[in-house]
Amino acid sequence: MSYTIDKETLQKLDMIGLEILLYQTKILIRELKDELEFKAGYNPNQLRTPAGHPNGGQWTSDDISSSRKVHSVEHTKKQDSNSPPN
């Protein structure tokens, strides 16, 4: 028994095969990226220094609230030093 497949069906099968290959490639890329980030010690949940600091946006291991306290103390000192004497 022999089967024949029309050209349109073959094209659809080719497209399905390409979509499967693309999906598998995306999964592989995600797995490789995750592995590299893990090896590099990357942690997307790691805190960053708040904007407005000299090191703003950089990764930090400090608590954000303590960083903000330091920033507000520094800001207050700057204001005091710029204030005219009484």
Distance of CA 50 to the CA centre of its chain: 17
How confident is the model over 67-72, as a mean pLDDT? 50
How confident is the model over 19-29, as a mean pLDDT? 98
Spatial distance between the Cα atoms of 42 and 59, rounded to a whole number of angstroms: 10
Residues sharing a CB contact under 8 Å with residue 49, sequence separation 6 or more, in sequence order: 55, 56, 57, 58, 59, 60, 62, 67
**Per-residue pLDDT at 64 exceeds 80:** no
Spatial distance between the Cα atoms of 85 and 52, rounded to a whole number of angstroms: 28
How confident is the model over 47-69, as a mean pLDDT? 71
Burial environment of residue 41 by CB neighbours within 10 A (0 to 12, 13 to 18, 19 or more)? exposed
pLDDT at 76: 53
How confident is the model over 37-58, as a mean pLDDT? 80
The band of 49, judged by pLDDT with boundaries at 50, 70 and 90, is confident
Question: For 18-32, 42-56, 71-85, which range has the lowest pLDDT when averaged over its residues?
Answer: 71-85
pLDDT at 18: 98
